[in-house]
Amino acid sequence: MNKWLASSALAVLATVALMVAQEPPAQQDPPKEGGKGGKGGKGGKGGFGGGAAKAKAPAGPFTRLPDGHPDMQGFWNAANNGGAVFEVQNHPIAKRGVGAGKGAVVDPPDGFIPYQPWAKQKAAELFESHMDQEPELHCFQSGVPHQNFVQFGFQITQTAAHMVMAWEFMHSYRIIPTDGRPHIAEGIHLFQGDSVGHWEGDTLVVDTTNSNDKTWMDTSGNFKSDKVHVVERLSPVDANTINYEATIDDATVYTRPWKIAYQFTKVLTPNYEQMEFGCIEGNQDVTHYTEDVGGKSKVVIKPPAGKE
Amino acid sequence: MIRCLILMTALAGTLLAQATYKAPRTWNNQPDLQGIWQARTNANDSVEPHTAVLGMSAGAGVIVDPPDGKIPYRPDAMAKRNANFKNRATADPVGKCWMPGVPRMTYLPFPLQIFQSANYILVASEFVHNYRTIYINGTKHLPGVDFYNGDSRGRWEGDTLVVDVAGFNDQTWFDRSGNHHSDDLHVVERYTRTAEDVLSYEATIEDPKTFTRPWKIALPLYLHKEPNFRLLEYECHAYLEDAIKDGSK
């Protein structure tokens, strides 16, 4: 991978924005709730990730680990679900840097985040005037559930006591204990929140609290507070497909809980490995991003020390 | 002499423990190294024996070869180290929140968590969510990569995990004192669980552009046993931004 591209989330974000401006991402209906065998990811014209999103012959059944739980290990890709990587909610009209798309919201049925009035206004303002605050631009981890539909893929590792998800993008990871332990103490706030998981049949249910308020739900200004509570459900469908849904509850921002759903598709490229993805090491060009993608407010960060 | 005796006693203790302890096995019948580990040394200040300075405690270093505990620098590389030391407050890559490299990630003052799968071992650090994937599936180093944290390929030698790390760039330091390397760096690490709560760590470091001969560090990593101990987050760059915004940096 080109070193300079890999070294800069900025460059990637700008590139993606450009691609979308030229060619809106393909639409994909979110999987029906509880549906089996989903559609298996239509090819996204944006072309992210390891080439997993092509139509394939039906995969075999998923295998199991020695403890009897489904084995979901492998490389997965979840980008390009109705353009959720850009905007998680329904965005029927293309706007600056974001092609039209349905997003990934399945409840409410209209696909829009049920914001409280002030919050709806704030989200719009963030998009219009404060894209310089876009968290990934600052190399922040993406938070939950946003992390699960960022560009590039991720690897799932399972042990007797944990599920780990490790992304190529900004080398983010989530460590999810599955051994019944409780959440960490209230008052600790993390970009990725604190996740604990448990099995309900073949579904891994992940409960996330302790988030901070520095991440967005996407790259378009949709946001949450540090009170957000997310419950995710990962249900393998076959060896190459996982149904994913997340219920997002934050009474300080939304009028009611809302839900996203889409699929993880296995990366089947032979010998696939994730590369190293630097971000802060090369992140010095916030000004151009702000000017190109829009943002009336001034850049507030300086280059890292010694790189002026 | 006393130090020598202490070292020998420690060594004998280690050997005895090694002889009697056998690590449990994972699902894949590998020696089980899983858990949250942390170094107790201050090698992150300097890997060499060092006197205290402001903000750095004194330390014996972690270099076991050469016996004098000093890095066998080539003359020009020694000059660069000395310049780095002078500029360490602004020039340390870890101070800029960059990836720490290997072996430094192992002895940063942050915990590491190890996970084992059939074909690879994942090592996650709390420091700026760095993680390493150590492939143990017989694959070779990728040609032409230059990674901050290198490209790690491992294999089991009995109960010892041996990891060959190459494909580095020249952008990381070994510690806060400016000890450095070129992009020819090659590190061979050895991990052996010598007791339930001790993971013995050794790394042999070579880089002909920078050193006159290979050198070696050794230190134990200790298992965290606190109830519900977890890797949390140290998102260095986010706090750096906050500090710049509020004028404290």
Mutate to test the interface with B, among A171, A179, A286 (most CBs of B within 10 A): A171
Q: What distance in Å separates residue A22's CA from the closest CA in chain B?
A: 32
Contact list in B for residue A307 (CB cut-off 8 A) is 96
CB contact under 8 A, B99 and A281: yes
Q: Which residue of B has its CA nearest to A276?
A: B147
pLDDT above 90 as % of chain A? 64
Tokens for A191?
């970009």
CB contact under 8 A, B238 and A273: no
Question: Is the Cβ pair A278, B148 closer than 8 Å?
Answer: yes
pLDDT of residue A14: 36
Which residues, numbered 7 to 46 in chain A, qualify as contacts with chain B under a Cβ-Cβ cut-off of 8 Å? none
Q: What is the average per-residue pLDDT within B76-84?
A: 98
Bridge-based pairing state of the strands B131-135 and B151-157: parallel
Record: contact B244-A301, CB cut-off 8 A: yes
Return the structure tokens found at B44. 């992150």
Share of chain A above pLDDT 70, in %: 73
- Quote the tokens at residue A124: 């719009």
* Least confident stretch, A149-158, B69-78, B235-244: B235-244
Q: What's the pLDDT score for residue A290?
A: 47
Decide which of A258 and A297 is more confident.
A258
Q: What is the reported pLDDT for A132?
A: 79
State what percent of residues in chain B have pLDDT above 90: 86
Interface test with B, best of A175, A190, A216 (most B CBs within 10 A): A175
- The DSSP call for residue B249 is -
> Is it the case that residue A9 has pLDDT exceeding 70?
no
Q: Is the pLDDT of residue A217 over 80?
A: yes
Q: How many beta-carbon pairs below 8 A join chains A and B?
A: 105
Rounded average pLDDT over B83-112: 96
In A, minimum Cα distance to B98 occurs at A281
pLDDT at residue B209 is higher than 80: yes
Compare CB distances from A301 to B120, B122, B241 and report the shortest one's residue.
Answer: B241
3-class DSSP state of B223 = strand
Let me know if A164 is exposed, middle or buried by CB neighbors in 10 A (0-12, 13-18, 19+).
buried
Which one of B90, B146, B245 has the shortest CB-CB distance to A305? B90
A299: in domain: no
In this prediction, residue B21 carries a pLDDT of 96
Domains: count for chain A: 1
Q: Is residue A120 part of a domain?
A: yes
Q: Do the Cβ atoms of A304 and B96 come within 8 Å? A: yes
Q: Is residue A298, in this structure, part of any structural domain at all?
A: no
Residues 165-204 of B with CB under 8 A from A: 171
Model pLDDT for residues A227-256, shown as the tens digit of each residue: 999 999 999 999 999 999 999 999 999 999
Beta carbons of A66 and B27 less than 8 Å apart: yes
Least confident of B19-23, B207-211, B228-232: B19-23
Mark yes or no for CB contact A273/B145 under 8 Å: no
Q: Do A306 and B91 touch (CB under 8 A)?
A: yes
Cα first-last separation, chain B: 46
The partner residue sitting opposite B27, judged by closest CB among A3, A65, A162, is A65
**Mean pLDDT of the region A30-53:** 34
Confidence of residue A268 (pLDDT cuts 50, 70, 90): very high
Q: Identify the residue whose tokens are 């303002």.
A: A125
Closest-approach residue (CA) in chain A for B228: A181
Show the domains of chain B with their CATH numbers: 2-245 (2.40.128.20)
Write the CB contacts of A22 (distance below 8 Å, at least 6 apart in sequence): none
Tokens, residue A63: 């295998």
Residue with the two structure tokens 């180093």: B141
Provide the H-helix boundaries in chain B: 2-20, 75-86, 88-91, 104-107, 236-245
pLDDT level of residue A53 (50, 70, 90 thresholds): very low
- Which member of B133, B149, B241 has the closest CB to residue A138? B241
Q: Which of A54, A53, A61 is nearest to A37 (CA)?
A: A61
A300, part of any domain: no
Is a pLDDT exceeding 90 seen at residue A276?
Answer: yes
Q: What's the gap in Å between the CA of A93 and the closest CA on chain B?
A: 33
* CB contacts, 8 Å: B142 with chain A: 273
Mutation for B interface: A280, A302, A308, most B CBs within 10 A: A280
Question: Could you say which of A173, A301, A302 has the minimum Cβ distance to residue B131?
Answer: A173
Report how far residue A71's alpha carbon sits from residue A86's, in angstroms, rounded to the nearest whole number: 30
pLDDT band at B6 (very low <50, low <70, confident <90, very high): low
Is A41's pLDDT higher than 60? no
Q: What is the pLDDT of residues B25-75, one digit of tens each?
A: 999 999 999 999 999 999 999 999 999 999 899 999 999 999 999 999 999
Mean pLDDT of chain A: 80
pLDDT number for residue A79: 62
A157 within domain boundaries = yes
Confidence of residue A78 (pLDDT cuts 50, 70, 90): confident
Q: From the candidates B119, B237, B240, B246, which should be mutated to test the interface with A, based on the most A CB atoms within 10 A?
A: B237
Q: Which domain holds residue A67?
A: 3-293
Tens of pLDDT, residue by residue over B220-231, are 999 999 999 999
Looking at the predicted structure, is the pLDDT value of residue A37 above 60? Answer: no
Work out the pLDDT band at B158, boundaries 50, 70, 90.
very high
Closest-CA distance, B100 to chain A, in angstroms, reads 11
**Number of CB atoms found within 10 A of residue A21's CB:** 14
User: If you average pLDDT over residues A202-221, what whole number do you get?
Assistant: 97
Is position A241 within any domain? yes
Cβ atoms within 10 Å of B90's Cβ, excluding its own? 11
| Chain A CB within 8 Å of residue B117 CB | yes
Buried b (16+ CB within 10 A) or exposed e, A23-54: ebbbebebbeeeeeebebbeebebebbbebbe
> Mind listing the pLDDT tens digit for each residue in B104-152?
999 999 999 999 999 999 999 999 999 999 999 999 999 999 999 999 9
Q: Would you place residue B85 in the very low, low, confident or very high pLDDT band (cuts 50, 70, 90)?
A: very high
Give domain status of residue A156, yes or no: yes
Q: Looking at beta carbons, which residues of chain B come within 8 Å of A300?
A: 241, 245
Q: Which chain A residues are closer than 8 Å to B232 by Cβ?
A: 184, 188, 190
Q: What is the mean pLDDT of chain B?
A: 93
For the question of an ipTM over 0.95, the answer is no
Is there a domain that residue A122 lies in? yes
A66 touching chain B per CB within 8 A = yes
- Band (B190; pLDDT cuts 50, 70, 90): very high
**CB pair distance less than 8 Å for A166 and B131:** yes
* Mean pLDDT, residues A201-223: 97
